[in-house]
Amino acid sequence: MFSANYFIEKLDMIKHPEGGYYKESFASSENITSNDLRTKFEGERILWTSIYFLLRDGEVSNFHRLKSDEMWYYHSGSALTIYMISPEGELTTAQLGLDIEKGEVPQFLVPKNYIFGSAMNNPGYALVGCMVSPGFEFKDFELFERNNLLNDYPEHKDIILKLTRE
């Protein structure tokens, strides 16, 4: 049976600023400029990038936002819930996993400009893949502070407390 430490070691993963661990896995050899997109970026971007992402017991992916769409792919371990706050302030969730009859899906798209984070549904670990297009760059990554989100979205207090750091 696999463990979180197995994947962290074998995939050479490092800590992610949002929580959990990650490893860059693939990147397009093509670039794109914001002239080709509705979203404006500085300079060029890689067409797409992909990472492995892993959460262990007690870890969460803290609320953050990207300027790009992010496709999530379930790989191994516990199913997880992706929590999203739309630009209009609506909270929605998606269950990422393989138990289709329980409403889980093996892949899910988080639209650009959504505030989102994730947490496991059961003990163990969750290993997923995330592909971002246009490609991920940390300068397009916004990690949220708890008080700012509580001020903007007090109706989502419980999940904000769960997916932010003090």
- Summarised one tens digit per residue, pLDDT across range 100-138 is 999 999 999 999 999 999 999 899 999 999 999 989 988
- State the pLDDT at residue 166: 80
- Give the E-state strand segments of 16-79 in sequence order: 21-27, 31-33, 44-46, 49-56, 60-66, 69-77
Q: Domains, the chain, ranges and CATH?
A: 4-33+42-163 (2.60.120.10)
Low-confidence ranges of the chain (pLDDT < 50): none
How far is 157 from 27, CA to CA, in rounded Å? Answer: 36
- State the pLDDT at residue 154: 97
- Identify the H or E element spanning 47: none
